[in-house]
Structures are given as C-alpha cells and as structure tokens.
Structure 1
Amino acid sequence: MRKKLLIVVMLVALVMLLSGCNQIDQPITQESEGIWNSYFVYPLSWLLMYFADLFNENYGLAIILVTVIIRTALLPLNVKQLKSSKAMQDIQPELKELQKKYSSKDANTQQKLQQETMALFQKNGVNPLAGCLPIFIQMPILLAIYHAIMRTDAIDGHSFLWFPLDEKDFILPFIAGITTFLQQKLMMAGSPASANPQMTVMLYMMPIMITVFAFMFPAALALYWVIGNLFMIAQTIFIRKPMMKDTGGDKK
C-alpha cells in the first residue's frame, strides 16, 4: 500500500511539475510561451473569454459552461473508471477469500496469492490499472482549466450571483466542501466501509481540504469546483446507480 501511495504521489508531483505550476502567478496571453501554455491553458482561457463575450461579460456563466464542456468531454473516461470500480467491487468477496486462504507471509504463499489473484482478474475481465488510467489522463486537463481561471486577468473585476469572482467568498467554499462530500459518498454507495478504509478517510478529508483551499483562492476557482462536483454527482446518479441496480449491486 505504501508503494502504491508513493507512486501516486510521485505521478501527481510529476504532472504538476510538467504543467508549469510555477507559472500560476503569470497572466496567460496569446504570447505566453511553452507547450503547456500554448496548447492547454491559453485555449481554455480563450474559451472563457469567448463565452463571457457572448453573455455580456458574464465570466461566472462562462466558467460554468467551460466546466460542463470539459466534464462532458471527459465523460467516456469517467464511465470507464466507474465500470472498473464496480468490477473491482464485485470481486471483493472472492479476493478476501483468497487473502484468507493464502494468509501466510512466506514467499511461496504470496506468489500463489498473486497468481490466483491475477487469474481471478482475468476470469472476470478486471484490469486493476483501468481505474487509475482515466484519472491520470484527466489530471493535465483539469489542471489546465484551473490555470486558465487563475491566470485570465479579464475575470478580475467581474461578479456572479452574490460574489466577486476575483475575491474570496465565505459561502461558496462550504458549498464546494458539501458537494465534494456528496460526490464521494455517492461514489462509495454499495461498498462497505471496511472494504476500503483509505476511501473512508478520503471521504471526510477531501471535503475539508477543498473547503480550506476554496477559502484561500478567488471565488472563480471555488465556482469551478462546485460545478464540477455537481456534474459528477449527476453523472453518478444517472450512470453508476442504474448500472449497479442492473447487476444487483445495490442489494445489501
């Protein structure tokens, strides 16, 4: 588990490094140099300004539209991730039986455990890496929209609903935290807490982290988090729930 966690942390750090996180305080313009700026951040920044111009300089609505467009484009990856998660959930009882059967820590027993685990994966068409790949593919895109929002100076001075987009808000962060919790709670529906203690910890830690970060950043970014969460909640309800009912996954 520690090795897996270390790999994930290293991959996240690598993506953040390659994405040019050290440029977060530099405005994005057409003249911004580098592959990250030219092909990821600036096109999204341009899209934000394009939609804002269509709706009378309404950058809040522009953020909502661009977030929905991006989430919709990533929908096939999210569906693949949900199916992989469901498949892994379905074979959890058999995995636990194998772990009990080969509970000894000697090398030969552990080798047999790995062999039978892989055979179980193949039998059920489960790829343990399939759930992680969509996440890594999405990360640069989601980081790009984060950069586009933070580095588009045209957003400054505009308001949406009750809050200025370029200032901190004291209501939106709580909405971001609550929607993060609801999204993760729905994702874990039908899976016993004991099956994955790490996910249970993240269920409570992630909303707290998002809430704290939302208090630290301009409201425009918190708005992006809220809309993204609402989209994922709707996705889970309309895709994962029916999928689990069809396979009896919601039966307790």
Structure 2
Amino acid sequence: MVYDYLAKPTQHIMEWLANLFNGSYGWAIIAIVFIVRLILLPIMISQMRKSTIQQEKMGMVGPQLSDIQKRQKAAKTAEERAAISQEMMTLYRENGISMTGGIGCLPLLIQLPVFGALYAAIRYSPDLSSAVFMGIKLGDPSILLAIFSFIAYLAQGWLSLIGMPESQKKQMRVAMFTSPVMILFISMSASAGLGLYFFIGGLFAIIQTLIINLYRPKIRKDIEAEMKKNPPKVVTPVEPVKPQPIAKPIAPTKPLNRNAGKQHKRK
C-alpha cells in the first residue's frame, strides 16, 4: 500500500523534476523540500509565534510558578501534591497559558507521508537508488549528510533559545538536543536521499527561527503592554483535602436469651 499510494506518485514527481534539472535527482529532492516547506511556512511560523507568546507569558508568571514548583517538591502527601497540581493548572488557565506551549503537531503530521513516500521511492526505485548527487549515492546511507542534518537542527535549536527567559532555557536545552540526535540516527540508517531531505529541511527551519527572532522584540512589547492592562493573575494556594477518618464498625450486641428467663421461672 505504501509503495502503490505513496512511493509510485513520488517516483513520478521526482522523475519529472529530475528531467527539469538535467536528470539530477538530488536537485529534485531539494525542490520537493522547497515545495513542502513553502506550503508549511505560514503554519510553522504561526505556531512558532504562538510558542514564543507562550514563552513570554511563562516568563511573566515565573515567580509564582517557581514558588509552586518548590512547594510541589516539598510536598509529602498525595493530597498536597494534588492540591499544588490543581493550583498550577489554575495559574495556567487564568493567565491564558497553554500546557503544550502552543506547539501543534500539524506540520509534522503533514510531513510524515512525505518522509514515507520519499523513503519508499528511493528504496524501491532503481533509478533513484543508483542516482549520485555531488559524489553521494542517494540510495546508500551517508554519514556526511547525517552529520550536516544534525548540525543544522542543532543550530536551529540554539537559535530558538536566543531571547528566551533564563528560567526556560534550562528546560528547553534537553529538547534542543533530542530532535537533532534522533535525526542523526535516522539519517545514518536511512538512505542519503532522506538525509538530504533532512538537511535542507533543517536549513529552512533555521530561516524560520531567524524570522521569529526578528519579531520576538515586537511580540515581547505587545505582551508587556497587554500585561500592564491586565496584570498576571495571582492564584491563591489550594488547601489539600484531608482524607476523612474511616469509622470503626460497631460490634453487634448479643441478643438476649429468652429461654433462660423461662427456665428461671420454672425453678
């Protein structure tokens, strides 16, 4: 099914594009990346902007959040932890902060069929698997392209930390390394054509991050102006619900022996 509905159409598109580039399948892959990223550019910039707004709002409620996190670590009972978790959710809700940070999965879901189609097309097409681009055989794994992809996405992650509050940088550093490492291992085990797709896609991601960084000061000013009109709402601590003591069952009383009275009268 993957070959019939994804690989074959991708093969035809890549062959048509390769003919436009004098038989170069490498440039055909780059053209596909350009088309896909151009379609996704408005969506991805919008999501990155929403994520930046969420980051700035998180910075505004940073003192309250830090206090809640300290009390959460010091909580000793399950009731206390539940109450503090409820307090944190209320803080997010009252200040319009998303638990997911404003990041959606739509761009990734759109790109997944492209990854599968490109992988299957390069794997099962003799012309694509034997094609060479800049001395690299597109059908075989390429460590060089895997390293380039890793560096590109690592640079994009580092650029995304610029201008971010220090309290959030510590949490985002782990995520900054996770995605490049995953792409590195996938590119090392997959064909060079997919590694080329990742590398060019990483360059586009760098451009998108630079665009957001240019708009970040304006976003910060808009949020600061909004916070002056509507200051961050302070959430009062929630008292933990103490469990009610379980009442001990009352032992049943022994019934009176009526026959004993009758026997006493007979005597």
Normalising by structure 2, we get a TM-score of 0.68
CA gap 1:118/1:156 in 2 versus in 1, 3 angstroms? same
Shift of 1:140: 3.1
Structure 1 residue 245 corresponds to structure 2 residue 214: no
Of 11, 17, 28, the residue aligned with 1:62 is 28
Contact 2:44 2:107 survives alignment (8 Å): no
Matching residue's letter, 1:80: S
For residues 45 and 166 of structure 1, the distance between their equivalents in structure 2, rounded to whole angstroms, comes to 13
Change (3 A) 1:45 1:129: farther
2:91 equivalent among 77, 98, 116: 116
Equivalent in the alignment of 1:140: 109
Question: Matches of 1:214 and 1:100 in 2, distance apart?
Answer: 39
Describe how 1:76-155 pairs up with structure 2 within 5 A. 76-100=42-66, 102=68, 103=71, 106=80, 107-108=82-83, 110-121=85-96, 126-129=97-100, 131-133=102-104, 136-152=105-121, 153=125, 154-155=127-128
**What are the equivalent positions in structure 2 for 1:192-231 lying under 5 Å apart?**
192=165, 194-195=167-168, 197-231=170-204
Deviation at 1:192, TM superposition (A): 4.2
Which residue number corresponds to residue 7 of structure 1?
A: none
- Aligned positions of 1:33-52 closer than 5 A: 37=5, 42-52=8-18
Is the partner of 1:189 in helix, strand or coil?
A: coil
Are the structure 2 counterparts of residues 116 and 173 from structure 1 closer, same or farther at C-alpha, using a change threshold of 3 Å?
closer
Whether the aligned pair in 2 keeps the contact of 1:44 and 1:144 (CA below 8 Å) is no
> What amino acid is aligned across from residue 89 of structure 2 in structure 1?
Q
Aligned to 1:5: none
Identity percentage of aligned residues:
25
Paired residues, number? 208
Shift of 1:144: 1.6
Shift of residue 108, structure 1, vs aligned partner: 4.7
* Distance apart, 1:41 and its partner CA: 5.3
Larger Rg: 2
Contact 2:136 2:142 in 1 (8 A): yes
State whether residues 81 and 130 of structure 1, in contact with CA within 8 Å, keep that contact through their aligned partners in structure 2: no
Structure 2 equivalent of residue 9 of structure 1: none
Measured at CA, do residues 158 and 41 of structure 1 come closer, stay the same or move farther in structure 2, by a change above 3 Å? closer
Bigger relative contact order (CA 8 A; separation at least 6): 2
Alpha-carbon distance in 2 for matches of 1:170, 1:225: 13
CA deviations on 1:114-171 (whole Å, 9 max, x unpaired) are 23321111xxxx55457332xx222232222212222121312111112111112232
Pick from 33, 43, 53 the counterpart of residue 19 of structure 2. 53
Root mean square deviation of aligned Cα: 2.5
Unmatched runs of 5 consecutive residues or more in structure 2: 222-267
For the structure 1 residues 115 and 47, does the alpha-carbon distance in structure 2 shift closer, same or farther, using more than 3 Å as the test?
A: same
Letter in 1 for 2:58: Q
Distance in 1 of aligned mates of 2:144 and 2:193: 13
CA distance in 2, matches of 1:116, 1:92: 10
Structure 1 residue 87, shift from structure 2 partner:
0.7
| Number of the residue aligned with 1:6 | none
